[in-house]
């Protein structure tokens, strides 16, 4: 299954992002950003399903929470940045 990782600059920002998405009915899971996508190592990510990314980005835009970056996480475990 394909997932998207919304990269956030801190744990607090990831918690706010996940909470906004959950309030909108979008399932969101917080996790540490993998080192391959964030070299600084201090970021967190919010994982959403492929079919909910557009809705998630719309919700985040409405509440003023813009993502640092977005990556697609393929079923084989590879990551690729999505240009917004």
Angle between helices 53-63 and 11-23 (to 10 degrees): 110
Neighbours of 59 (CB within 10 A): 20
pLDDT tens digits along 1-41: 789 999 998 899 999 999 999 999 999 999 998 887 766 66
pTM recorded for the entire structure:
0.88
What is the mean predicted confidence (pLDDT) over 45-59? Answer: 95
Whether the CB-CB separation of 63 and 3 falls below 8 Å is answered with: no
State the Cα–Cα distance between residues 28 and 84, nearest whole angstrom: 19
């Amino acid at each position: 299954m394909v997932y998207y990782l919304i990269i956030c600059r801190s744990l607090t920002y990831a918690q706010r992002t996940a909470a906004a998405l959950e309030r909108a009915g979008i399932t969101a899971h917080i996790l540490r950003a993998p080192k391959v996508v964030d070299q600084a190592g201090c970021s967190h990510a919010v994982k959403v399903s492929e079919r909910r990314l557009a809705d998630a980005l719309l919700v985040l835009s409405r509440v003023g929470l813009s993502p640092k970056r977005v990556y697609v996480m393929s079923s084989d475990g590879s990551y690729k940045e999505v240009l917004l």
